[in-house]
Amino acid sequence: MTIPRGTRKLWVALIFFGGIVAPAWAQAPPLPLGSPVPVPTAPEGPRRGPITVTPTISVTGEWNDNVFQNNANKVSDFILGVTPGISVAIESPIYRLIGSYSFTSEFYADQDQLNEAFAQHNLRLDASYRVTPLLTLFLSDTFTVANNSNLVAVENVSTGRTQSTSNTLSPGLSYQLAPRDALRLRGTWTTQSYDTAGALDSDTYALEGFWDHAYTPRLTVSGGYQFAYFDVEGQPGVHTHTPRLGVSYRITPTLTGSLSGGPTFQVPETGDVEVFPAITAALQQRFAWGSATAQYDHAVGTAGGLGGTTENQSLGGTVQVDRLMRGLVLQFVPRYTHTTSTIGQNVDVDTFSITLQARYEITRWMAAIAGYTHYMQRSGGSAVTTAAGTIAANDVDQNRVFVGLQFGYPISFD
């Protein structure tokens, strides 16, 4: 029997949030499905005061050589962006709440029909509370609205310029069972929606639990289980089961490596059970001038607005320079993804992106910001036809360059 998506979504939401209320199902902060969850640490002490509120406003100029993210309709333009925002930090030795919200108004030099007062929204929430010396609770939320669809799709897949919305809510807990043993639990709900004909909205519900054992101060092994349910608009539901084993090893005082993996059993409501590999590997290195991280992930997920479950592979990294000069932060972030359908659809997409960005604090209340992003997508004609129309992952070559100023001042309250 096929359950209507709306009814199915309601029941799954009730079961999921019912699980959140029970302490046994509260879980840790969100990461991409299939990635290992780090052992949570206690929140840092207050920096300027128990409560710090920072209002900001940024003014940027951007050159975008492919506004519609479609090589068949390649249009360039200069965009003026104005971004008001506010962040709040509430910290103590036992709890921490850090939240921020901003929206961006965009004004185009040529394509003035694209002018929009609320073109983008970004909200971040990260909270933790140490109930006892052994038990810590977590809650995080990430909400994003953007017109570049690849910016909200976890898989970095673009279906062109359309208002796209994503939200990821994740509660969790960490419990120290013994001096060398810890239990980590997490739940995650991710929803993605697109305001264009043919694009498929989706909801992903995930639950997972892991046990960590520190054999030595340098070596930690873990084992656990992950469950996920994929509810894609107009398509039968799919759930997956992934038992995992992992290891983390501090190779040197500044270099740490981790590896985890296991089989993912994909069980559709209609169709046959299939098995896919689930692998996550990472290296983290600290330097005198900053840090560098490289990560590989192989997991079952979705393909943004193209819908359906997909086998996703990603390889990426981050290099951050933040100790060369006071007030200067540089970041270099490359990423490659390969996405193919696991059931029914005709999705086969490769994406590659490079981001360079810099921020220099001129004074305590003013900073100069600049950045460059190159985004490339090759799809081999991937397209999905739905009752609302056909949505495609077009070939995309996009370059974006921006410079600007950010103004803000932290206000502390005792």
Residue in 308, 312, 270 with CA at minimum distance from that of residue 385: 308
> Tell me, what CATH number does 345's domain have?
2.40.160
Please list, in sequence order, all residues whose beta carbon lies within 8 angstroms of the beta carbon of residue 386, skipping any fewer than 6 positions away: 198, 200, 233, 234, 307
At residue 166, does pLDDT exceed 70? Answer: yes
Q: Environment class of residue 212 by beta-carbon count within 10 Å: exposed (0-12), middle (13-18) or buried (19+)?
A: buried
SS3 188: strand
At residue 403, does pLDDT exceed 90? Answer: yes
At residue 3, does pLDDT exceed 60? Answer: no
What's the average model confidence in pLDDT over 166-193? 97
SS3 63: strand
Q: What is the pLDDT of residue 18?
A: 35
Element (H, E) at 19: helix 5-21
CA max distance for the chain = 64
**Sorting pLDDT into bands at 50, 70 and 90, what band is 270?**
confident
Q: What is the pLDDT of residue 381?
A: 63
CA gap 396, 162 in Å, rounded: 14
Asked if residue 20 lies in contact with residue 26, where contact means CB atoms within 8 angstroms, the answer is yes
What's the average model confidence in pLDDT over 268-273? 88
CA gap 374, 367 in Å, rounded: 24
Give tens-digit pLDDT for 59-95: 999 999 999 999 999 999 999 999 999 999 999 999 9
At residue 13, does pLDDT exceed 50? Answer: no
Give tens-digit pLDDT for 289-307: 999 999 999 999 988 888 7
At residue 1, does pLDDT exceed 80? Answer: no
Q: Residue 77 half-sphere exposure, CB side, CA atoms within 13 Å?
A: 19
pLDDT above 70 covers a percentage of the chain that reads: 85
List the Cα angle 145/307/166 in 5-degree steps: 20
User: Can you list the pairs that 100-108 forms with residues at least 24 positions away whose Cβ atoms lie under 8 Å?
Assistant: 100/124, 102/56, 105/81, 106/79, 106/80, 106/81, 107/79, 107/80, 107/81, 107/82, 108/67, 108/77, 108/78, 108/79
Q: Which residue has the tokens 């069980």?
A: 267
Q: What is the pLDDT of residue 387?
A: 52
Residue in 335, 359, 349, 344 with CA at minimum distance from that of residue 408: 359
At residue 275, does pLDDT exceed 90? Answer: yes
Give tens-digit pLDDT for 23-66: 222 222 222 322 232 333 333 333 456 899 999 999 999 999 99
Give tens-digit pLDDT for 217-241: 999 999 999 999 999 988 889 999 9
CA gap 23, 39 in Å, rounded: 18
| Burial call 216-231: b when 16+ CB within 10 Å, e when fewer | eeeebebebebebbbb
CA gap 284, 295 in Å, rounded: 9
**Sorting pLDDT into bands at 50, 70 and 90, what band is 200?**
confident
Q: Which residue has the tokens 């809650």?
A: 139
Cα first-last separation, the chain: 59
CA gap 7, 110 in Å, rounded: 45
State which residues form the domain around 337: 5-413
**Sorting pLDDT into bands at 50, 70 and 90, what band is 14?**
very low
Please list, in sequence order, all residues whose beta carbon lies within 8 angstroms of the beta carbon of residue 37, skipping any fewer than 6 positions away: 28, 29, 31, 172, 184, 186, 208, 210
Give tens-digit pLDDT for 96-111: 999 999 999 999 999 9
Domain count, the chain: 1
Q: Environment class of residue 362 by beta-carbon count within 10 Å: exposed (0-12), middle (13-18) or buried (19+)?
A: exposed
Q: Residue 55 half-sphere exposure, CB side, CA atoms within 13 Å?
A: 1
**Sorting pLDDT into bands at 50, 70 and 90, what band is 388?**
low
Q: What is the pLDDT of residue 394?
A: 87
Strand residue runs (E) in 152-218 = 161-178, 181-194, 202-214
Report which residue type is found at 174: S
Asked if residue 49 lies in contact with residue 193, where contact means CB atoms within 8 angstroms, the answer is no
Q: Which residue has the tokens 């209320």?
A: 21
